[in-house]
Amino acid sequence: MFNVHTIPCPGCGSSTIFVMTEDQFFRFQSGEHVQHVFPGWSDDDREMLISGTCPNCFEEMFPEEEDYWDEDWFPEDDSAYAIDPESDLYEYSRDWYVED
């Protein structure tokens, strides 16, 4: 088991220690996505491991805006979309995909 110390939080300077297996440590260090290496961890814990930012400071830096998904943001009709939602290409128009 490894005790991994996070870098100090850029907001408050606090640090955290995470305990992980040797396999998890080397998978994370080799660049595997943190969600795959630590699927049971909370979003807050994974963010602390990646950036050192604690949940309170993260919320202060990136507050949720209630009107972010305001209707004014969306186009009035579907003609603005480049890919037809009914086509097979639509599924691969996102930044991520799941292989079958």
- Reading the block at residue 72, the tokens are 């004014």
User: The domain containing residue 57 runs over which residues?
Assistant: 2-66
* Tokens 């930012």 sit on residue: 53
13 φψ region: left (φ > 0), alpha (ψ -120 to 50), beta (else):
left
Q: Is residue 35 part of a domain?
A: yes
User: Residue 48: its pLDDT value, please?
Assistant: 92
Q: What is the DSSP letter of 91?
A: G
CA 66 to mean position of chain CA atoms: 20
Q: Is residue 84 part of a domain?
A: no
Q: Is residue 26 part of a domain?
A: yes
Number of domains in the chain: 1
Q: Is residue 72 part of a domain?
A: no
Q: Is residue 75 part of a domain?
A: no
| pLDDT greater at residue 48 or residue 78 | 48
Candidate from 17-21, 34-38, 70-74, 90-94 with smallest mean pLDDT: 90-94
Tell me: the pLDDT tens digits for 4-31? 999 899 999 999 999 999 999 999 999 9
Task: State the average pLDDT over residues 37-64.
Answer: 91
Q: Is residue 25 part of a domain?
A: yes
Q: Is residue 89 part of a domain?
A: no
User: Residue 86: its pLDDT value, please?
Assistant: 59
Q: Is residue 32 part of a domain?
A: yes
